[in-house]
């Protein structure tokens, strides 16, 4: 299997680069941070990068949970440039990118 790397920009109201509908009174802020996910054959999750500390690598991780929901087990490397736990949507965007990589389409 050839490794595939996806870099997904994120924003306060976006997951995997796909904006949500928001009301005119909502604040929509786009920032230039992006985690990088690399997928390959295997069954492991490793995390590196500036904000890797504190990111779970067990089955509780959102990327692992998303892939498990569609019955995929693959090796994933997450390069964390979005701080975890800050409410910036990095984990959710990473999970959405994993689902996109797995071939899940949200019409």
CB 9 within 8 A of CB 32: yes
Q: Which of 35, 25, 105 is nearest to 76 (CA)?
A: 35
- The sign of the CA dihedral 83, 88, 90, 95 is positive
Whether 39 has a pLDDT exceeding 70, the answer reads yes
Q: Mean pLDDT, to the nearest integer, of 12-24?
A: 46
What does the pLDDT read at residue 89? Answer: 80
Q: What is the pLDDT of residues 55-101, one digit of tens each?
A: 999 999 999 999 999 999 899 999 998 888 877 788 888 999 899 88
Whether 33 has a pLDDT exceeding 60, the answer reads yes
Mean pLDDT in the chain?
77
CB 94 within 8 A of CB 37: yes
What does the pLDDT read at residue 88? Answer: 78
């Amino acid at each position: 299997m050839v490794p595939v790397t996806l870099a997904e920009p994120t924003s306060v109201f976006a997951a995997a680069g796909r904006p949500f509908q928001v009301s005119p009174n909502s604040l929509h802020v786009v920032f230039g941070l992006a985690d990088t996910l690399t997928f390959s054959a295997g069954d492991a999750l490793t995390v590196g990068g500036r904000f890797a500390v504190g990111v779970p690598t067990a089955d509780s991780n959102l990327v692992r949970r998303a892939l498990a929901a569609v019955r995929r087990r693959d090796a994933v490397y997450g390069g964390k440039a979005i701080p975890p736990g800050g409410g910036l949507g990095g984990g959710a965007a990473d999970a959405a990118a994993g689902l996109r990589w797995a071939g899940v389409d949200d019409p």
